[in-house]
Amino acid sequence: MTTANMSVREAFVKASSFLAEQGVAEASSCTELLLQHLLGGCTRTELLFRWWQEQMPVELVATWDQLVARKAAGEPVQYITGEQDFFGLPFEVGPAVLIPRPETELLVEAMLHEGSRLFPQGAPLLADVGTGSGIIPVTIAHARPAWRVAASDISAAALEMARKNAQRHDVAARITWLEGDLLEPYIERGLAPDMVVSNPPYIPDGDLPALMPEVRLFEPHTALFGGVEGLDLYRRMVSQLHRLPRIPTVVGFEVGIGQAEAVAALLRAAADWREIRFVQDLQGIDRHVIAIRASE
């Protein structure tokens, strides 16, 4: 596919039609995002009112054709542009980390709400376990300047990207970065988080063939799969809670479809909670498990 001697609008029409023929979901919106990226990160308004009728710059034609070819091959548009918005903030993403999902914004909202309610005058320590691109700790540190925030991951590459995102939003100095497996870095340092939040790998191993190609072929499997039932990481984290100096006041987990009751049962067996509730996503799925103890 080539877009030489075309206007930006004509290039959009040709590319979106080509991607749709290749089976790309939401081909028009993907094409629009790629064009905004190509044209220097312009806004949608700038694309439509400044660029739409302009000739596609000749020096960008080859790059544009490459971008469209990458998308046609199934690569997520977020990895092509290197960015994804979350909670109103732009985040750098890449193949080393999972692409942020909109449903995780509901987990952040729940933790912000519970932390503000339970620690109205204090500065709770929130620990994000398996931080990936850093969306959870960066968003929370940005929204709650008084809170203390820590973030951990077993992947050094993920931590590096998380630090970059924290620097981008001027909160890097307020986040403690820890490399290690689940809660082990906190246990080793004797840290006692008031709040623990995690969006761990939870897809059952056997679901691999059914995943969309964008996910199956491009996103890191270590950030996706959680064992035969998808519950391995929850079991391990819950078993580690008693090795912390004290049980956290709030634990918030994102879970897969049909996993909420099983994860709640793990938490009930591990400690006494005043409340365990579920937060549904926009499709009505129990997507987050929030466990709350009485404040000490």
Each residue's pLDDT, cut to its tens digit, for the chain (296 residues) gives: 656 689 999 999 999 999 999 999 899 999 999 999 999 999 999 999 999 999 999 999 999 999 999 999 999 999 999 999 999 999 999 999 999 999 999 999 999 999 999 999 889 999 999 999 999 999 999 999 999 999 999 999 999 999 999 999 999 999 999 999 999 999 999 999 999 999 999 999 988 888 888 888 888 888 888 989 999 999 999 999 999 999 999 999 999 999 999 999 999 999 999 999 999 999 999 999 999 996 55
pLDDT of residue 212: 84
Helix 156-168 with 135-143: angle, nearest 10 deg: 30
The two three-digit tokens of residue 151, written as one number: 């973030």
Name 157's Cβ contacts closer than 8 Å, sequence gap at least 6: 96, 97
Place of tokens 């078993």: 239
Beta bridge partners of 243: none
Give the C-alpha separation, 128 to 200, whole Å. Answer: 10
pLDDT of residue 5: 80
Give the C-alpha separation, 228 to 207, whole Å. Answer: 9
Its pTM stands at 0.91
Long-range contact pairs involving 141-149 (C-beta distance under 8 Å, separation at least 24): 141/166, 141/169, 141/171, 141/174, 141/175, 142/89, 142/169, 142/171, 143/87, 143/112, 144/112, 144/115, 144/116, 145/174, 147/115, 147/123, 148/123, 148/124, 148/174, 148/176, 149/125, 149/174, 149/175, 149/176
Give the CA radius of gyration of the chain. Answer: 21
Give the C-alpha separation, 256 to 275, whole Å. Answer: 21
Give the C-alpha separation, 35 to 21, whole Å. Answer: 19
Q: What angle do CA 295, 258, 287 make, to 5 degrees?
A: 45
Max Cα–Cα distance, the chain, nearest Å: 69
